Structure 1
């Protein structure tokens, strides 16, 4: 395969079998590494930056004390996962192991905001202007700086009274503890679409979905 070939979901899954630190998220792959000290986390951050420059392929990296959150996608391929992402992920994992960092896949989360509407065009421009977002080919809105949650519009002629909901993306392999924790809080769970997504409703009627990459 070429260095920038777009991968199918099955190909991503096959590659990730050899990359145990990484999980698929919407439009990318992600990992979380924990080091013994903040200084080691900064060193890992620096190593990732060096690898990114060498590959001319730059992931999103977030340093939080002794944890480093990494997401990589190919923006020049329409925000899809390519073989370049796999190569970079492998290099980053090697650097993390060299520093003695541990993998924390249970911390991987991606949040999107869903808005019920019968007419997306009537409201999309206001949201884009207010947040400084850009409209995507599929009609969703995205932060051009890749920091804030994406917004997508769920077309419905009969919007739910709670028109906004969060889609919380969790790797399928890490989703069961999340659902069990919600169940222990007496949260109402609608699992008819699981494992693709499970609709959770809190005690005050607010909805959010626990989404995974399975059955997409």
Structure 2
């Protein structure tokens, strides 16, 4: 397929209803697969590689002992979810089931660094040079190998004294547990933009946002 097979948000939601191992986050399909052993995780890793070669569409796979963190997106379509991604996701899930792997969506946490600024152009080159990142279509700085967290610039005419905050994207289905844990840890929560994101402020005034796929475009 060509890069014109990008799916709409409604189409993605329909596909995900048949892909219970997967969730949408930051323009990608994501899952965590826990395997019976480290060796079986490596075998599944190899099987995913073979599926990717056959499909000529390659996911990002991070092996951590008996866990595989898998991300699927179509870079040639502007890092959007396409029919190729949902097709490969289904094939990976089938192979994972054969390998005795189980999905662990509660482990999905994707971190971005946000910088409040009234002039992103004045500082973007500094961060891009230091990190060796590339500039994405939306102006964010992204690791070309997907290893480090993205950095994006939040336009505001009144930046806070503390201009940095983390955006932590979790599946909506897991967000209540995360938010409850934050409250138990003493953080105050601002639900004004929920479920898209909730602003958490710790007892010293530092902020982070817990983000979900709800209310976001594909």
Q: TM-score, normalised by structure 1?
A: 0.97
Q: How big is each residue's C-alpha offset from its partner over 1:122-155, in whole Å with a ceiling of 9 and x where there is no partner? A: 0000000000011122111111111111111111
Matched residue, 1:49:
49
Number of corresponding residues: 216
> Contact (CA 8 Å) 2:133, 2:141: kept in 1 or not?
yes
2:29 is equivalent to residue 29 of structure 1? yes
> Contact (CA 8 Å) 2:3, 2:77: kept in 1 or not?
no
Matched residue, 2:14:
14
Matched residue, 2:129:
129
CA distance in 2, matches of 1:123, 1:86: 37
2:215 is equivalent to residue 215 of structure 1? yes
Q: Closer, same or farther in 2 for the Cα pair 1:168/1:66, shift >3 Å?
A: same
Q: TM-score, normalised by structure 2?
A: 0.96
Q: SS state of the match for residue 198, structure 1?
A: strand
Q: SS state of the match for residue 158, structure 1?
A: coil
Superposed structure 1 runs of 4+ greater than 2 Å apart: 1-4
Q: How does 1:95-174 map to 2 (within 5 A)?
A: 95-174=95-174
Q: SS state of the match for residue 19, structure 2?
A: coil
CA distance in 1, matches of 2:130, 2:86: 35
Q: Closer, same or farther in 2 for the Cα pair 1:143/1:206, shift >3 Å?
A: same
Deviation at 1:88, TM superposition (A): 0.4
> Contact (CA 8 Å) 1:4, 1:83: kept in 2 or not?
no
Q: How big is each residue's C-alpha offset from its partner over 1:31-75, in whole Å with a ceiling of 9 and x where there is no partner? A: 101011100100110000000000010000000010010001000
Structure 1, unaligned runs of 5 or more: none
Q: SS state of the match for residue 70, structure 1?
A: strand
Q: How big is each residue's C-alpha offset from its partner over 1:146-187, in whole Å with a ceiling of 9 and x where there is no partner? A: 111111111111101110100000011111110111111121
Deviation at 1:17, TM superposition (A): 0.5
CA distance in 2, matches of 1:60, 1:24: 15
Deviation at 1:22, TM superposition (A): 0.1
CA distance in 2, matches of 1:78, 1:2: 12
Matched residue, 2:199:
199
Please, what is the CA RMSD of the aligned residues?
1.2
Matched residue, 2:89:
89
